[in-house]
Amino acid sequence: MKTLRTHTLGFPRMGAHRELKFALEKHWRGEIGEAALEQVGADLRQAHWQAQADAGLGFVTVGDFAYYDHVANHIQLLGCEPTRFGFAGTESELSRYFSMARGVTGKAQHSGCCASHAHGFALEMTKWFDTNYHYLVPEFSSTTEFKLASTRLFDEVAEAQALGHPVKAVLLGPLSFLYLGKEKEAGLDRLSLLDALLPVYEYILTRLKQQGVTWVQVDEPILGLDLPADWRNAFERSYWQLARSAPQILLATYFSPLEDNLRLACQLPVAGLHVDAVRAPHELVGVADWLPAHKVLSVGIVDGRNIWRTDVDAALKRLRPVADKHRGELWLAPSCSLLHVPFSLQAETLLDAEIQSWMAFAIEKLDELLVLSAALGGDTASVTAELQAARHAIAARRASPRVHRADVALRIARAVDSDDKRQSAFPQRQRLQRARFALPPLPTTTIGSFPQTPAIRAARAAFKRGALGEADYRQKMEAEITLAVREQEALGIDVLVHGEAERNDMVEYFGEQLDGFAFTENGWVQSYGSRCVKPPVIYGDVARPRAMTVAWTAFAQSLTTKPVKGMLTGPITLLQWSFVRDDQPRSATTEQIAWAIRDEVVDLESAGIGIVQIDEPAIREGLPLRRAGWKPYLAQATRAFRISASGVADDTQIHTHMCYSEFNDILSEIAAMDADVITIETSRSDMELLRGFGDFQYPNEIGPGVYDIHSPRVPTQDEILRLMRKAVAVVPRENLWINPDCGLKTRGWPETRAALASMVGAAKVLREEL
């Protein structure tokens, strides 16, 4: 039998109980020093390596740990900290690291002054491929130099070796590192920096080899993207150069199919290739065909992006032909780093036992590798019990009436094409809505939430704990709603909201009330830095047992003669920010959610609510990594939105809201959502985002955000006027609304009041002028 090994591309950093988060935050508050923080880091690494050793992995993975982000680690490793931070060189490595990650206070607050000053504002943060993890974006200019500038990686290797572990080190590859960065100089081609970067990688690899490291995993996830030709072409020469000095390199790809890069990836001069067999199972045979027999094939067979148990029989069925075909070594691994899943199910004490039995977090996924490798190697006897448990769980999940509901299936089956269409086209609806609401030109509104004061949070928490009774809780929330309505009336806002006091989070609030969603106690996943999120788990068919928002919204409407806008989260966002089912396409789950939301919209309408907003801030982040997938995704996403929005009469006005994102390349799909009004975040781009809507002649109404809600700074009336004048220049004014960029829940009341007063004042001035 051929050699089989197991390994992982990376492991969660936070610790079983988010020890890293708490230590980081203590350090940032000045409560613990660097040495104490480093000790927490060392303890976590030790525990995580031990878990890998206990699971019988062939190596422990070193270099995946980071105090904030692994890309930021590489900025220090490769000696390319941006000069704008003006480090004197006397600061410690860790303090420079946190300055880059979090900004330098004192230097960072600079609103109003020009952007060219050297400021210590934090590195930009952006999403790591299609995950909810954010990395710090390296900055490049033509004067960027690279040199080995940190020994952290080598120190950690030595640390693992001293603990007696066989080590596989991991590096982000040179091409991905450059590709994921950003040029800070017009006209600079980041690829032109490659020649300066490669010698540093060579040096790092040589040093790892000297330390006795036999395998280095070099991650090049950009091989799963539609790469420009010059980037593709740079791979071969880069890896020839690295091969000279290197220990054996395992080139790691993940998150999407290799497609046109498949042959390239197979033929690079490296000792092994890792592929994501969860996202691209159909490529596995092709990879086995193309990969030379002397190379290691690492198959990412356990889903590193989701929390479900592996279907062992399906996995073995997929692996066997590959094992037969590929004559070299075969390694089994999670599809990608386990960074994107929670630590362990052992910390779940309240989760429904049956649902929990269907799941596997990072620790459990390591065990799955062992079972798969034993079974594939023919040693089923040693894992009989585990195999049986795994098979039993898969069979139970597949047959569970909690997962598959006839009523939900029937509803979807009965859907007809026209279910995603409003009764009339927009111009007709617009006429009816104008007659019904008689709003002034440039109507003012907000995005939904009002300040979540400590009192609100305390009341919600007490209610959840059972310390506050239902009636008392309702009374408290109604008092908050009353306050929000009175404030909005006093400000003179035209379309009011109830303020969302009862909502902890725009996904959790709905997930908790919908069938098919479950919540973990400790299923934390790193989002950025010390920030973790605990996504809901969609495990079964989604249905709405009862109205979710009608009582609060109707209560708000009962207080005022102005229209109150109902507030819902849309199907794509509910899906995107959850762990989703892997036993049916994402589109099928989205459609189920869409029907549940539609019911809520219809119930709001019946309760006398004439305007309903369905938030979809996550539409863009659901885009597949490969362009070819965009069209089908957007078609089903916009259909899901329209299903949720189309159960109402023409004179009910549907709004949607999306936060900061590029819209220009998806404008026709945004228009295809056919919301009567869309509100977007535009102030940070100085209304530039709106220009695209204007050029495109976006047909429906639009509310460009007129101030940044992320800062406590109060905008002046003149600033808002300036932005709105820009807006009026690009979009027909009869289609324009005035609103903030996003919800106000993170703000305090004094600044909120002042900012909205500026906004309403600006609207008045403009109405006079126009």
Residue 652-681 contact track with ligand GLN, rule CB under 6 A, x = bound: -----x-x----------------------
Phi-psi region of 587 (alpha: psi -120 to 50; beta: other; left: phi over 0): alpha
491 contacts ligand GLN (rule: CB under 6 A) = no
Residue number, 180 or 744, with CB nearest to ligand GLN? 744
Residue 184 known to bind ligand: no
710 is catalytic: yes
Closest CA to 86 of 66, 68, 100, 102: 100
- Residues 620, 404 contacting (CB under 8 angstroms): no
Residue number, 156 or 600, with CB nearest to ligand GLN? 600
Catalytic residue among 7, 404, 655, 710: 710
Task: List C-alpha distances in Å: 711 to 40, 684, 741.
Answer: 32, 11, 11
Residues whose CB is less than 8 angstroms from the CB of residue 736 and which lie 6 or more positions away in sequence, other chains included: 442, 701, 702, 703, 704, 724, 727, 728
743 contacts ligand GLN (rule: CB under 6 A) = yes
745 contacts ligand GLN (rule: CB under 6 A) = yes
- Residues 441, 733 contacting (CB under 8 angstroms): yes
Q: 261 exposed, middle or buried (CB, 10 Å; 0-12, 13-18, 19+)? A: buried
Residue 742 known to bind ligand: yes
Q: Contact region for ligand GLN (CB under 6 A) — 263-271, 485-493, 667-675, 739-747?
A: 739-747
**What b-and-e string marks burial along 129-165, b requiring 16 or more CB atoms within 10 Å of the CB?**
bbbbbbbbbbbbeeebebebbbebbbebbebbbeeeb
575 contacts ligand GLN (rule: CB under 6 A) = no
The owner of tokens 């000053």 is: 117
Q: Return the one option of ligand GLN, Zn ion, none that residue 303 interacts with (CB less than 5 to 8 A, by type).
A: none
Residue number, 303 or 502, with CB nearest to ligand GLN? 502
Shortest CB 742 distance to Zn ion, Å: 3
How many residues at the interface with ligand GLN, by CB under 6 A? 13
- Residues 579, 624 contacting (CB under 8 angstroms): no
Shortest CB 484 distance to ligand GLN, Å: 12
Alpha-carbon distance 759 to 637, whole Å? 33
Residue 612-631 contact track with ligand GLN, rule CB under 6 A, x = bound: ---x-x--------------
Residue 107 known to bind ligand: no
Q: Contact region for ligand GLN (CB under 6 A) — 339-347, 437-445, 631-639, 738-746?
A: 738-746
23 contacts ligand GLN (rule: CB under 6 A) = no
Residue 18 known to bind ligand: yes
Shortest CB 449 distance to ligand GLN, Å: 3
Shortest CB 618 distance to ligand GLN, Å: 9
How far is residue 730 CA from its own chain's centroid? 32
Interface residue with Zn ion among 338, 659, 723, 763 (CB under 5 A) is 659
Closest residue to Zn ion in the complex (CB):
742
567 contacts ligand GLN (rule: CB under 6 A) = yes
Shortest CB 506 distance to ligand GLN, Å: 5
Q: Return the one option of Zn ion, ligand GLN, none that residue 762 interacts with (CB less than 5 to 8 A, by type).
A: none
448 contacts ligand GLN (rule: CB under 6 A) = yes
By CB under 5 A, the residues from 104 to 163 that bind Zn ion are none
- Residues 59, 168 contacting (CB under 8 angstroms): yes
Inter-axis angle of helices 362-376 and 384-399, nearest 10: 110
**The tokens of 217 are what?**
């995993």
- Residues 129, 172 contacting (CB under 8 angstroms): no
572 contacts Zn ion (rule: CB under 5 A) = no
Residue 113 known to bind ligand: no
Kindly report the CA angle at 50 between 48 and 56, in degrees rounded to 5? 115
Point out which residues bind Zn ion (CB under 5 A): 617, 659, 742
Which chain residues interact with ligand GLN by CB under 6 A?
Answer: 447-449, 500, 506, 567, 615, 617, 657, 659, 742-743, 745
Active site residues: 710
